[in-house]
Amino acid sequence: MSVKLSKLFGMDVYDFEAGYKGKVYDIIINLEKGKLETITTEPLKVKTKSDAKKILAEKSIPYRNVKSVKDIIIVSSREIPFTEQPKEEEKENTASSQLRYKYSRR
């Protein structure tokens, strides 16, 4: 599913327990990776760096917590820890060792 980035601004954000989290004011994009990083529920137009850090710590949602986007945005209420994706070689080694273990064990 794809959604225009401009459509996200102003959308209501809710968690799985139907708790209202706020409206989308700003979106932080990682240009190097080409991924959305964070949604803020308060504008980042502040006078000091400490105010910006406070908003990012308290009034933002990591985009990896977003579960669904349609008329509203639904996010996971718990923090999902960031884990790097294993390299292809590691995936193959892990999968083959799991299969061997699974079928050779009695």
- Please report, for the domain that includes residue 66, its CATH number: 2.30.30.240
> Is 88 inside any structural domain?
no
> Is 10 inside any structural domain?
yes
The predicted model scores a pTM of: 0.65
> Is 90 inside any structural domain?
no
More confident residue, 74 or 101: 74
> Is 95 inside any structural domain?
no
Domain span holding position 51: 5-81
> What's the CA gap between 98 and 88, in Å, rounded?
15
Number of domains present in the structure of the chain: 1
Mind listing the pLDDT tens digit for each residue in 27-36? 999 999 989 9
Mind listing the pLDDT tens digit for each residue in 19-73? 999 999 999 999 999 899 999 999 888 888 898 888 888 899 999 999 999 999 9
Q: H-helix or E-strand containing 29?
A: strand 26-30
**14: nearest Cα among 81, 68, 80, 79:** 68
